[in-house]
Amino acid sequence: MLRFLTVRLLRAALTVAMVVTFAFVVLRMSGDPAQIIMGADAPPEAVEAFRAAWGLDRPLWVQYFNYFGAILSGDLGRSMRDGRDAIQLVAERIPATLALTLPALLMKVALGIPAGIYAALHRNSWVDRLVMIVAVAGFTVPSFVLGLLLVLVFAVQLGWLPSGGQESWRHAILPVVTLGLGGAAVLARFTRSAMLEVLGQPYIRTASAKGVPWHAVVTNHALPNAAIPTVTIIGFMMGSLIAGAVVVESVFSWPGVGRLLVVAVANRDLAVVQCILLLVAATMVFANLVVDLLYGLLDPRLRNAPKRAVA
Amino acid sequence: MTVLLEADHLLRRYATRRGMLGRPVDVRAVDGVSLVLEAGRTLGLVGESGCGKSTTGRLVLGLETPDGGEVRFQGDAMPPPGSAAWRALRARMQMVFQDPLGALDRRLPIGVQVAEPLEIHAIGNAHERAARVETLLRAVGLRPDHATRYPHELSGGQRQRAVLARALATDPALLVCDEPISALDVSIQAQVMNLLVELQDRFGMGVLFISHDLRAVRQVSHRVAVMYLGRIVEEGDPDAVLHDPAHPYAQALVSAIPHPGRGARRIVLQGDPPNPADRPRGCAFHPRCPVATSLCTMDVPALKRRPTDGRLIACHVAHGDVPAGGGVAEVKEAA
Amino acid sequence: MQVAVVTPPKRRVAGPPPLVIFAIIWLVLMLATALLADVISPYAYTALDLRNRLSPPIGLGGSLVHALGTDELGRDVLSRLIYSIRTSLLIAFGATIIGALIGTSLGFLAAHFRGLVEQAVLALVDFSASLPFLILALAVLAFFGNSMLLLVCLLGLHAWERYARIARGLALAAGSQGYAAAVRQLGASPWRIYGRHVLPNIASTLIVSMTLAFPEIILLESGLSFLGLGVQPPATSLGSMVGYGREYLTRAPWIMLAPATTIVITTLSVSLIGDWLRDRLDPTLH
């Protein structure tokens, strides 16, 4: 188990290191990093000081390691718009984003998994068909279209809910529903196919042929096995807690990390973009790590085996 | 007789790991195999699966590079795989595979695939190639109109005939057949083997015939070599080896051939099938050998010529170094 | 005595189900619209008609002059829609092809050279799987600014790792025992092995993957354009039309609804065709 953990941690660290390298390379390719990070109208002596501080006059590989060191110590540059620390700017927005993505994740799990299981157990019933139709729609209707349709109906036509902003909990309803519906559809479709695959396995037929009651077959044999692939997709959804609301936050003018990212990209506020990039990568990698560990708990076979054969 | 192919103490190792961070274990798939094949003759290579006979075939073709020893083809050393000289040499040596359906591209008609070696080695113009394809198809017992068929439209035997036609397109001097009949129906096997003998008479290529089936090997070979765990344990005239096997392993192989009225004499081998990753010390066969002695557990027998008939045998007992024992318990090499 | 009449089973090629037929018709319609945009468009997509600003479509009190209504500047929604379809499809096609080319080439390289090259490709695959593509795309756009060419190349990177995985896996399978090993020992060059033999053999799997990636790219492009970070004015795409129409959601919802409907039906159509092709051509792919 310890080796399992070590290998996973090393892989996670490698991936984060690759993202940092990517940011470094892209930053170097896009122009003078001192000028870009400090902003075009920064005083020349400040730029010089920055250069000296970041060692931009040294060889590229030294710069590369310094860049790594700076990021490890939490120095991610300053926003060129208001000169504040990028990391602080981003951190301020995280609670607002989580206020959308956490309830949405709950909604996805609470709606999607039961719907998927029910559909699989009652294959070709009207519920199954409905779940499939909604699931296909969840994939083909982009979130900004769904969000705008909800605004059109519930804010513009019916006037029940506000169309945007962050004044009260009522403002959060439409964005949460927009995020949750799409994700629930994906999860339902995934759970359904995972269940159907498991239900077709010989051990399920064996169990029911032995006379095990059907509900016991489902709870003891089918659900634990179908849980394994489903955990992956939930892990991926957890990884997008911070980054998954970029479009929806823009639709509803919700001041979260996603909105900050869009504004920063539009203004080419590179320090902020880089900070969000690293934050998202770290979240995703962490979520993948958690999924891997959960895998080990759910599926004892995987505990000691390498995930991918080094062939 | 001119020597076509010489293999000298070939060694092929693979490193495998146990688990992700386990210690690498050295597996010797081929452990000091020497062969000589004369032009226009057939050498049969027999052994159970995992004994290294297919790896030997790939080594003599130069598809893999040996970790020790060397292969000389018509007197010249084998160029490194993938080099231009290596690719050009492919026109002189060809291979026939166990699974003809897998060896053929299912998206191209047979005629195109038979002509492909000619195209690759830029032999002849389009017209000459078409004529050559027709000759080849007839030579392997297919009709010229089979050229437009796709592999899945042919029977298993016809596919192997097509693979033979492709292999013979450039008129190679050496043909390595790796279990060419084991994927075919029993009724087809004899036909394909007869065809192979016929084709050898006509095209004059030397053949290395690899099989686990001693009888099949005898039918086509001028000499036969028996392999066990990466080494040749007995080599000689096919009829002589089949009638009077000298090595205990060869004796077991021969006794396993069903024979009317001789069922009682079958020798059933003891112990586990051999694992190249866990080679026994001394003679690799001793844990399963009914006549093993204590010498066999310590000293590796060399492949030596038997003075009486000149047959090559690697066995202390068969050479009379020690009297036959009664078998010994397994002594594994210290890990 | 009874004579058993044995009728040979008829070889029936099942036609596509009705929904797939609808999807094919819709897609052909979209392709024709994209190709013939200059001919069938009633107006130039930038032409202003200041007397008919925010005029509603037919059925909501509008006139035949502007069948799908106009926007705040009196630009014809139908004409803009037609040109948006052209832009979005062009980008999606270009990006899909780029992704397939890059992914397949890298997959083949990994399968051919093994060792370090393969490990590098697999590390890149892990890397792209670790970042949501939208975030990566936004970061690159922030660093490099915006241009149509960059946008197409960037979207081309979406899903490259899927092609790479497929190409590597299938090439390895063909190489170890199968036809690729056979052709290699005939003396064929790598170009011949991969171009003439492996590629045609895995083409159907790759094409299925392309039809599955295509709608995702349309959605990504429209998402970026909706955020104002994709296709830039005066050019117009389905996503940027929705983004623009959002400002007039209360007064002129048709500006947003026309492109939104087009996005949904088009992605739905391509997905339906992709699923159908997958079931027909390649039951192993899921």
Domain edges within chain C: 19-41+62-285
Whether residue B85 lies within 8 A of chain C, CB to CB, comes out as no
Instruction: Return phi, psi of residue C5, to 5°.
Output: -95, 115
Residues 6+ apart with CB under 8 A from C205: C166, C170, C281, C282, C285
Structure tokens at C71: 């926007």
- Average pLDDT, integer, range A36-49: 70
Quickly state the pLDDT bin for B18 (edges 50, 70, 90): low
Task: Say whether pLDDT at A311 is over 50.
Answer: no
CA distance C220 to C239: 9
Query: Under an 8 A CB cutoff, do C178 and B89 touch?
Result: no
Whether residue C242 lies within 8 A of chain A, CB to CB, comes out as yes
Using an 8 Å CB-CB cutoff, list residues of chain A that contact chain B.
Answer: 3, 7, 304-306, 310
Query: Under an 8 A CB cutoff, do A270 and C267 touch?
Result: no
Residue A76, min C-alpha distance to chain C (Å): 15
Whether residue C19 lies within 8 A of chain A, CB to CB, comes out as no
Determine which helix (DSSP H) or strand (DSSP E) holds C150, and give its type and residue range: helix C148-156
Q: A90-101 as b/e, with b when 16 or more CB fall inside 10 Å?
A: beebeebbbbbb
Instruction: Return phi, psi of residue B260, to 5°.
Output: -60, 130
Chain A residue numbers with beta carbons less than 8 Å from the beta carbon of C127 are 15, 18-19, 22
The residue ranges of chain C whose pLDDT is under 70 are 1-14, 59-67, 177, 281-286
Quickly state the pLDDT bin for B335 (edges 50, 70, 90): very low
What is the CATH code of the structural domain delimited by B3-243? Answer: 3.40.50.300
Give the relative orientation of helices C238-245 and A143-150 as an angle to the nearest 10 degrees: 20
Q: What is the pLDDT of residue C286?
A: 41
Query: Which of A26, A266, A288 has the CB atom closest to C229's CB atom?
Result: A266
- Average pLDDT, integer, range A182-193: 83
Number of Cβ atoms within 10 Å of the Cβ of C279? 11
Q: What is the pLDDT of residue B333?
A: 44
Q: How many helices (H) and strands (E) does chain A have?
A: 14, 0
Whether residue B94 lies within 8 A of chain C, CB to CB, comes out as yes
Residue A212, min C-alpha distance to chain C (Å): 31
Whether residue B89 lies within 8 A of chain C, CB to CB, comes out as yes
Taking alpha carbons only, the member of C249, C242, C246 closest to residue C219 is: C242
> Structurally, what CATH architecture does the domain formed by C19-41+62-285 represent?
Orthogonal Bundle (1.10)
- Average pLDDT, integer, range A167-192: 82
Size of interface A-C (CB pairs under 8 A): 125
Helices marked H in B29-168 = 53-60, 84-89, 100-103, 110-120, 126-139, 156-168
Which residue of B101, B116, B177 to mutate against C (max C Cβ within 10 Å)? B116
Q: What is the pLDDT of residue C62?
A: 64
Chain A residue numbers with beta carbons less than 8 Å from the beta carbon of B21 are 3, 7
* Helix/strand/coil for A78: strand
Determine which helix (DSSP H) or strand (DSSP E) holds B313, and give its type and residue range: strand B312-313
Q: Which residue of chain C is at minimal alpha-carbon distance from B166?
A: C186
Task: Say whether pLDDT at B60 is over 60.
Answer: yes
Query: Which of C122, C138, C250 has the CB atom closest to A265's CB atom?
Result: C138
Size of interface A-B (CB pairs under 8 A): 10
Query: Which of C187, C189, C197 has the CB atom closest to B105's CB atom?
Result: C197
Quickly state the pLDDT bin for B45 (edges 50, 70, 90): very high
Residue B65, min C-alpha distance to chain C (Å): 14
DSSP B158-215: HHHHHHHHHHHTT--SEEEEESTTTTS-HHHHHHHHHHHHHHHHHH--EEEEEES-HH
Our measurement of the distance from residue A201's CA atom to the centroid of its chain's CA atoms, rounded to an integer in Å, reads: 32
Q: B250-272 as b/e, with b when 16 or more CB fall inside 10 Å?
A: bbbbbbeeeeeeeeeeeeebeee
Q: Where in chain B is the domain with CATH 3.40.50.300?
A: 3-243
Chain A residue numbers with beta carbons less than 8 Å from the beta carbon of B19 are 304, 306
Task: Say whether pLDDT at B326 is over 80.
Answer: no
- Cβ(B90)–Cβ(B54) below 8 Å: no
- Cβ(A290)–Cβ(A235) below 8 Å: yes
Quickly state the pLDDT bin for B44 (edges 50, 70, 90): very high
Determine which helix (DSSP H) or strand (DSSP E) holds B71, and give its type and residue range: strand B68-73
- Cβ(A222)–Cβ(C98) below 8 Å: no
**Degrees to nearest 5, angle at CA B258 with B255 and B259:** 90
Residue A306, min C-alpha distance to chain B (Å): 6
Task: Say whether pLDDT at A258 is over 50.
Answer: yes
- Cβ(A143)–Cβ(A182) below 8 Å: yes
Q: Which residue of chain B is at minimal alpha-carbon distance from A309?
A: B20
Segment A240-256, tens digit of pLDDT:
777 778 888 888 888 88
Residue B43: what residue type?
Answer: L
Number of Cβ atoms within 10 Å of the Cβ of A151? 24
Residue C55 is given by DSSP the state P
Taking alpha carbons only, the member of B51, B87, B50 closest to residue B225 is: B51
Query: Which of C187, C197, C200 has the CB atom closest to B91's CB atom?
Result: C187
Segment B69-110, tens digit of pLDDT:
889 998 888 888 888 889 889 999 999 988 888 888 888 899
Chain A residue numbers with beta carbons less than 8 Å from the beta carbon of C132 are 239-240, 243-244, 280, 284
Segment C221-230, tens digit of pLDDT:
888 888 888 7
Q: What is the pLDDT of residue C285?
A: 45
Task: Say whether pLDDT at A159 is over 50.
Answer: yes
Structure tokens at A139: 């994939």
Cα end-to-end span (Å), chain A: 22
- Cβ(B292)–Cβ(B328) below 8 Å: yes
Residues 6+ apart with CB under 8 A from C40: C33, C82
Distances (CA, A) of B276 to A44, B6, B25, B49, B52: 71, 25, 10, 11, 9
Share of chain B above pLDDT 90, in %: 26
Query: Which of C123, C138, C250 has the CB atom closest to A18's CB atom?
Result: C123
Whether residue B38 lies within 8 A of chain C, CB to CB, comes out as no
Taking alpha carbons only, the member of B268, B293, B298, B295 closest to residue B280 is: B298
Q: What is the pLDDT of residue A91?
A: 82
CA distance C238 to C82: 9
Segment A65-124, tens digit of pLDDT:
777 777 777 776 667 667 777 788 888 888 888 888 888 888 888 888 888 888 888 887
CA distance B298 to B44: 30
* Helix/strand/coil for B285: coil
Task: Say whether pLDDT at A306 is over 60.
Answer: no
Chain C residue numbers with beta carbons less than 8 Å from the beta carbon of B95 are 182, 185
Strands laid side by side in the B68-73 sheet: B24-38, B3-17, B68-73, B76-77
